[in-house]
Amino acid sequence: MDKRLKYIDEIGLKGKRVLIRVDFNVPLDESNKITDDTRIRSVLPTINYALDENAKVILASHLGRPKGKRVESMSLLPVAKRLGRLLEKDVALATDCVGEDVKRLVDRMKPGEVVLLENLRFHPEEEKNDERFGAMLGELADIYINDAFAVAHRAHASNVAITRHVREVGAGFLMKKEMTYFSMALEKPTRPLVAIIGGKKVSDKVGVLSSLCERADKIIIGGGMALTFFKSLGYEVGNSFVENDALDEAKSVIELARDKHMKLYLPVDFVVADKFSADAETKVVTYQEIPKDWMALDIGPATLTLFTEAIQNAKTIIWNGPMGVFEIDAFSRGTFGLVTSVANTYALTIVGGGDTDVAVHRAGEYAKMSYISTGGGAFLEILKGKELPGIAALKDKGIAAAAS
């Protein structure tokens, strides 16, 4: 049976109670003001579509890590206000996300109205994918739409259990965009497909690297994790960040790449510093010359040239993870330089993960990327070739409905 996702525009919403799982986990400052509302804006097409179809729109999200308790500073109230302004209509914030009061509020809703449920993670059952909690959320809706790609890699009640307690389910437009780009990049990519993987930890990304050895044409490795690779090959890496527990994993990736005839690029030089600080003394050295008491905190200029060269003929580029400690100016040139190089290719460019997203924005190259994924963990799971639980639940429900 076809395991295709059904999307919101294939479902009749008129007059129905439509519960949309969104990711409103926005950053807040000390006075609880939203500092970046990108996550709210990214689901506006789905919300507006449901409103245009005259649905009763019920929104559900988590915010922060309240650990299963009510924490006032993690209330979705600031989100309700910002969303109201963006939609130019009232957004009622429910006192909770389940329970009698919420049911009454939803029962009184008229088509075209919006209710935002209070933080799902005020209940420990949410992260436990509790069936009863999923059923209580499901009771609020006729139709369930998942548009929270960034949490689709988690099996939580609001994206898995709930699907078993609502008549019809589907995915929103943000999810559609994410799945479309990932399918272009991974299922039938225009080749050469080059993957750039950076960041600190090999252990987080060994599954991604192994999977990419099967799919990509070239893999570029930068960031702190490159030092774990060099140490696994027996090089002196000084005081650089190294994951000693992951040396064997790093070696296994190198061996797999060799077996698969994968072109694996590692840095050839580094910016090293005498301490982890903005005012550190720095110099550029080759990978064989990292001094004993120094640490490598960015790729060097020769590496930037090498990596830039390596992506020149790419038709598809996937990038996750910075090339160095880009948060500190002195160690940001590698990451920002590569952002510019990627932006100036003719490739389909898909960037994901919080840090890489920030780097692309800071470098001012946002508009030149084909797509910036809203997922971090979900992005990595997809690169591993795994089906996300939140998406599998929607497809399984579709199959059950077709069979009944």
Per CB under 6 A, does 200 bind ligand AMP?
A: yes
Q: Which of residues 328-367 bind ligand AMP (CB under 6 A)?
A: 355
CA separation for the pair 213, 41 (Å, rounded): 35
CA–centroid distance for 120 within its chain: 19
Q: Binder to ligand AMP among 170, 324, 337, 398 (CB under 6 A)? A: 324
Per CB under 6 A, does 375 bind ligand AMP?
A: no
Q: Which two tokens stand for residue 254?
A: 């190198």
Per CB under 6 A, does 398 bind ligand AMP?
A: no
Per CB under 6 A, does 201 bind ligand AMP?
A: yes
Per CB under 6 A, does 269 bind ligand AMP?
A: no
Per CB under 6 A, does 238 bind ligand AMP?
A: no
CA separation for the pair 264, 197 (Å, rounded): 11
Residue with tokens 């008549």: 167
Per CB under 6 A, does 174 bind ligand AMP?
A: no
Residues 348 and 314 sit within 8 Å (Cβ to Cβ): no
Per CB under 6 A, does 134 bind ligand AMP?
A: no
Residues 229 and 209 sit within 8 Å (Cβ to Cβ): no
Per CB under 6 A, does 224 bind ligand AMP?
A: yes
Q: Which two tokens stand for residue 177?
A: 């965009």
54/203 with CB nearer ligand AMP: 203
138/267 with CB nearer ligand AMP: 267
CA separation for the pair 275, 403 (Å, rounded): 63
161/226 with CB nearer ligand AMP: 226
339: DSSP letter: H
Per CB under 6 A, does 241 bind ligand AMP?
A: yes
Residues 355 and 321 sit within 8 Å (Cβ to Cβ): yes
In 23-103, DSSP assigns E strands to 56-60, 91-93
Q: Binder to ligand AMP among 327, 340, 361, 396 (CB under 6 A)? A: 327
Per CB under 6 A, does 325 bind ligand AMP?
A: yes
Per CB under 6 A, does 204 bind ligand AMP?
A: yes
Helix or strand or coil: residue 290?
coil
Number of residues located near ligand AMP, criterion CB under 6 A = 15
CB atoms within 10 A of CB 299: 33
Q: Which two tokens stand for residue 316?
A: 């598809």
297/369 with CB nearer ligand AMP: 297
Per CB under 6 A, does 199 bind ligand AMP?
A: yes
173/229 with CB nearer ligand AMP: 229
HEC readout, 137-161: HHCCCCEEEECCHHHCCCCCCCCCH
Rounded to the nearest 10 degrees, what angle do helices 44-52 and 77-87 cross at? 60
Distance of closest approach, residue 219 Cβ to ligand AMP, in angstroms? 16
CA separation for the pair 178, 173 (Å, rounded): 9
- Just list the catalytic residues: 39, 201, 354, 377
Per CB under 6 A, does 267 bind ligand AMP?
A: no
Q: Where are the alpha helices (DSSP H) in 183-294?
A: 202-215, 225-232, 247-259
Q: Binder to ligand AMP among 80, 209, 220, 296 (CB under 6 A)? A: 296
Distance of closest approach, residue 183 Cβ to ligand AMP, in angstroms? 24
Which of the stretches 3-11, 28-36, 318-326, 391-399 binds ligand AMP when contact is defined by CB under 6 A?
Answer: 318-326
Task: Write out the residues near ligand AMP by the rule CB under 6 A.
Answer: 199-201, 204, 223-224, 241, 296-297, 321-322, 324-325, 327, 355
